[in-house]
Structure 1
């Protein structure tokens, strides 16, 4: 089939290119734009307790004041706040109220309750319209608030800073824009340099970059359509990851095709025939690899969390567009460029190097498959053992931007000067059954029970009552920061007490940011037990269809699983033990799954497809392994290096979250390419022999097939 696709593309190359350009212009010009979404609660299903608590709060306290930002006051010299400072603070608060900043509803005055015990710090809480607090426009309001507050404090001894959720969103936006620029630039530079070194041709170096720009815009447009059509909660924050996926995967597939195209030229094919044969030979591997990635991404639709439910299909669309372009647009372009122009100024494309390093690696696998399999497997197991020490953390704000950002400085100051959980207190909502009014006489005893929970710093003695008297809001301050594992453990205990000790005839639900993180934690555990097994089964089916085997998919997926656990282990060692972090970001295992398991499978597929191809041409299992490493190794090594290096550019972003993603995925890709695909997979396949292809082994030479069914070996120049 792919041979026919290659013929069609080569014969109608200009039509294929024009069709892509027209489609790109049409899709880009009409696609809806993605908007940022920063409200983590919107990513959870409604049956979780934190979301049910949010619903109760909205219905019972529609006008309740939930601070969206905090203005932090302190003296420039660090001394306690005095009388003139209090007058200056009042002037700043009044000025902010009078300014009528967009979306801002309240700016509360400083009080004794909002002043630290040592008198050095004071807070003014800012309330914004509830349906606007998490929108991109709210970040602009935060910028206005911050600048106005500083101007109003000029001439006084006060130092004024803005923190809280909307301020964090503003700082996060600024950090993300810089990170995206650095990642995009770093990715392009790495691709250009690496391809330039490999092929010694500026045209080949620029070709995938230009191509990816075209179909990345197509992919973004299609993602916009999908989000609108299916109501997904995708947002523009996925852009940094999307850049790397498109350039990484696009370059991978370009290399798959380019190496095979050059190989066919060396075998004596003319340009157009070489393109057709390259598509015919590698098209199935590209499609199968893309299929495995698309399936792995799409399975995230089963996730409980909206962030992954949207990210999976978005990335699947991007990979699908990339795969289609790789077997249509790229071959069409290659067929139109004379080889002497394409490879200029190098002439090395005309002959294969005699002392190829990968030929030596292939001979090692051929002679010592047991040693190679055991050594590479032991390395994976060693890193996998470290995964037992993995701990997840939930402080996305601290992880996604430098600690020097103003909102992070305010957060740290508030945690030291006030209760660590004061910025985002938890709320226990008690509701009368069947709309019955609450008995306020039972409140003191209930407050006392809540206060006994380990990790609770303070329970506000008098709860807020709804207008009809059927719901009470008990505000609970935690001793630990709202995003810490200790706070999540406290909320777990708080829920048990809140449910068990409710006054007669009432029900209770616990809400707040920490409660949301608690439910996200539960949702992640549920997702791991569902998403991973389903994805594994579907990827194994794809491998089985590609290889006509029920044996190979099992050890291939076992290898991928070891790569996954080894990556988690290495990341835990790097950040928890070497850098002293409390843990790694809670979503990291899912992201490792997305990129290491899904994309890393590409290299296994390319290698195993080459192994079967060599076996089908009559080579014994060990020779087939040697030749597969010799000819497939350069492609896998180059693709793995580029993809690992592009993810490594995330280390330039300057924040822990991107650093963890960059390190973990780069490590996982290196393991997938240089340990699994080059050593573990071919060594195991060599040991299993033709039984690796059972029941499809009957189609291989020596198993009763007709001589005519075995493909004629390629010209000697190929080897």
Structure 2
């Protein structure tokens, strides 16, 4: 039943993702050519991605789970579209500056290529860090998604520039809006306001992140992956409903206690005493008669828990008193092991805690190295990663608020923090990298820190907003699948991407960078001194100025 529902959900996600990308790109660029470019390009490379993933799975003995398919689809289309957007916005900017189409593409790749490559490297590193996970499904998911991002990057820096260079300005057909940059655009006004009062923007955006992050404390992981994933009329749901009318809640997934006596056969007295001890465990509903091996050295007791097998109470019973009594009450010379789905969930929970302590810090350190190399700075990576951490907490808090507090659900799927890490931390860093790379570029052009922040928001703000809207929308399409697990994942990731784009990258990062001034780029070159910054900013307001992009030969 879950497989059938999953296939329907995949079809809905695929259609919704493609339609959303087409509609949003039509609105942004008013050109059917650009709207179709990501769909055609990503569709063309999808078979390459699948082939490479299959080769990697065979070479490294990875078990690629079918659940990866839905995530892989939205990652490929979402990330691929983002990289194409980053390139096309800079290409349009170079055309407006007077470059011919081919020169404009050369300069666009030269200017934004480093930022795109660094952003992709951060995502790939974050995904590959999952190979350190103790859970096989994450060890397989990491390389699969990393391959998808790597191929999308190569296509974005080679195939897409080649296609656009051949089409020239026809890529914008039939719109002529690309020829003139609108004056007084809203992002120009936002940038100007930020340049004047970066402290206000930093406190306001940071306050939003902290306020949402407070709710993350209430996160409760749940292992109920079947609830809501199938319709109430499906045979499996009808069976469960009828079964629980006269049986303990744990009857849907009984646990097992295996008793092994290598020294000789188990006597009836030993089996009776042991079964009685298991029956008296708090949280146990029923204990069946022992199923014995022919030589009576192995006995299997089916244990039906009083609570639903995926519930917190059942996990506490297995992790605590049941395993303790099972081990301690075993006859002399015998060993015991508790198994079943609830025991698997208990072990999953321990493995996830291990992964949080290993995978997250390793990924954060490696991403900081990428940022340090890109920005030639030892300061900026620290506050950029701090903002990403705040974004992660805010996303988890928003999801807890909606699903646990407002909708009254017992908890969120246990894999959600790792899934959020994959997309909110990794992909959210993309927007930070794009914005801070433009901040650094404007600083190197001789602008003051506040001017650089104003100009970066003015010119990169539309790119970040458009990319964030499309990527958040593609993940939000998962909420249409009618599956509670995919709904939670889709909501959390889409909200996290929106926070990363519209709070972190658009407001928090440039505001903090403007406040730090040239210290943000230490020990690298950061433009004018703070004194020069105050002097130049006082001379004119960027709310009324019109900025012409640097020439082809200006310093990168």
TM-score range (shorter-chain normalised) is: over 0.9
Question: What is the alpha-carbon root mean square deviation over aligned residues?
Answer: 1.6
Distance of 1:322 and 1:417 partners within structure 2? 54
Q: Determine helix, strand or coil for the equivalent of 1:437.
A: coil
Distance of 1:413 and 1:545 partners within structure 2? 61
Matches for 1:138-537 after TM superposition, within 5 Å: 171-339=1-169, 341-433=170-262, 435-460=263-288, 462-492=289-319, 493-537=321-365
* Counterpart contact for 2:13–2:478, Cα < 8 Å: yes
* Counterpart contact for 2:518–2:528, Cα < 8 Å: no
Distance of 2:434 and 2:154 partners within structure 1? 17
Distance of 1:342 and 1:697 partners within structure 2? 37
Distance of 1:196 and 1:655 partners within structure 2? 30
**1:713, distance to aligned residue in structure 2 (A):** 6.4
* Counterpart contact for 1:617–1:701, Cα < 8 Å: no
Q: Work out which of the residue numbers 474, 499, 502 in structure 2 matches 1:674.
A: 502
Q: Deviations over 1:240-263 (max 9, x none)?
A: 111100110001000000000000
Matches for 1:658-669 after TM superposition, within 5 Å: 658-669=486-497
Residue of structure 2 in register with 1:585 after alignment: 413
* Counterpart contact for 2:209–2:394, Cα < 8 Å: yes
Q: Determine helix, strand or coil for the equivalent of 1:695.
A: coil
* Counterpart contact for 2:223–2:310, Cα < 8 Å: yes
Q: Which runs of 5+ in 1 are unaligned?
A: 1-170, 704-711
Residue of structure 1 in register with 2:539 after alignment: none
**1:395, distance to aligned residue in structure 2 (A):** 1.6
Distance of 1:636 and 1:432 partners within structure 2? 64
Residue of structure 1 in register with 2:484 after alignment: 656
* Counterpart contact for 1:421–1:479, Cα < 8 Å: yes
Distance of 1:255 and 1:632 partners within structure 2? 11
Q: Work out which of the residue numbers 439, 442, 455 in structure 2 matches 1:611.
A: 439
Distance of 1:263 and 1:425 partners within structure 2? 63
Q: Determine helix, strand or coil for the equivalent of 1:441.
A: helix
Matches for 1:13-92 after TM superposition, within 5 Å: none
**1:474, distance to aligned residue in structure 2 (A):** 1.2
Rg: which structure is higher?
1
From the superposition, tell whether residues 526 and 225 of structure 1 become closer, same or farther in structure 2 (CA, over 3 Å).
same
* Counterpart contact for 2:26–2:35, Cα < 8 Å: yes
Q: Which runs of 5+ in 2 are unaligned?
A: 531-547
* Counterpart contact for 2:52–2:147, Cα < 8 Å: yes
Q: Determine helix, strand or coil for the equivalent of 2:259.
A: strand
**1:715, distance to aligned residue in structure 2 (A):** 5.1
Distance of 1:702 and 1:369 partners within structure 2? 17
Distance of 1:284 and 1:413 partners within structure 2? 60
Distance of 2:231 and 2:398 partners within structure 1? 23
Distance of 2:484 and 2:522 partners within structure 1? 46
Residue of structure 2 in register with 1:714 after alignment: 550
Q: Deviations over 1:33-74 (max 9, x none)?
A: xxxxxxxxxxxxxxxxxxxxxxxxxxxxxxxxxxxxxxxxxx
Residue of structure 1 in register with 2:463 after alignment: 635
**1:701, distance to aligned residue in structure 2 (A):** 5.4
* Counterpart contact for 1:388–1:569, Cα < 8 Å: yes
Which segment drifts farther, 409-418 or 521-530?
409-418
**1:412, distance to aligned residue in structure 2 (A):** 2.7
Distance of 1:273 and 1:692 partners within structure 2? 32
* Counterpart contact for 1:399–1:585, Cα < 8 Å: no
**1:501, distance to aligned residue in structure 2 (A):** 1.5
Which segment drifts farther, 449-458 or 393-402?
393-402
**1:504, distance to aligned residue in structure 2 (A):** 1.2
* Counterpart contact for 1:376–1:680, Cα < 8 Å: yes
Q: Deviations over 1:396-452 (max 9, x none)?
A: 12253344432123223322332211132111111114x433233222222121112
Count, aligned residues: 535
Distance of 1:405 and 1:251 partners within structure 2? 38
Which segment drifts farther, 539-548 or 213-222?
213-222
Distance of 2:460 and 2:68 partners within structure 1? 32
From the superposition, tell whether residues 668 and 403 of structure 1 become closer, same or farther in structure 2 (CA, over 3 Å).
farther
Q: Determine helix, strand or coil for the equivalent of 1:606.
A: helix
**1:287, distance to aligned residue in structure 2 (A):** 0.5
Q: Determine helix, strand or coil for the equivalent of 1:337.
A: helix
Q: Determine helix, strand or coil for the equivalent of 1:696.
A: coil
* Counterpart contact for 1:257–1:282, Cα < 8 Å: yes
Q: Deviations over 1:501-522 (max 9, x none)?
A: 2111111100111111111111
Q: Deviations over 1:572-600 (max 9, x none)?
A: 11111111111111111111111111111
**1:297, distance to aligned residue in structure 2 (A):** 0.3
* Counterpart contact for 1:392–1:585, Cα < 8 Å: yes
Q: Determine helix, strand or coil for the equivalent of 2:251.
A: coil
Residue of structure 2 in register with 1:131 after alignment: none
Q: Determine helix, strand or coil for the equivalent of 1:502.
A: coil
* Counterpart contact for 1:302–1:309, Cα < 8 Å: yes
**1:650, distance to aligned residue in structure 2 (A):** 0.9
**1:236, distance to aligned residue in structure 2 (A):** 2.8
Q: Determine helix, strand or coil for the equivalent of 1:310.
A: helix
Q: Work out which of the residue numbers 381, 384, 393 in structure 2 matches 1:556.
A: 384
Which segment drifts farther, 421-430 or 188-197?
421-430
Q: Determine helix, strand or coil for the equivalent of 1:268.
A: coil
From the superposition, tell whether residues 713 and 702 of structure 1 become closer, same or farther in structure 2 (CA, over 3 Å).
farther
Query: Which structure is higher in RCO with an 8 Å CA cutoff and minimum separation 6?
Result: 2
TM-score normalised by structure 2 residue count: 0.94
Distance of 2:483 and 2:234 partners within structure 1? 11
Q: Determine helix, strand or coil for the equivalent of 1:549.
A: coil
Which segment drifts farther, 502-511 or 675-684?
502-511
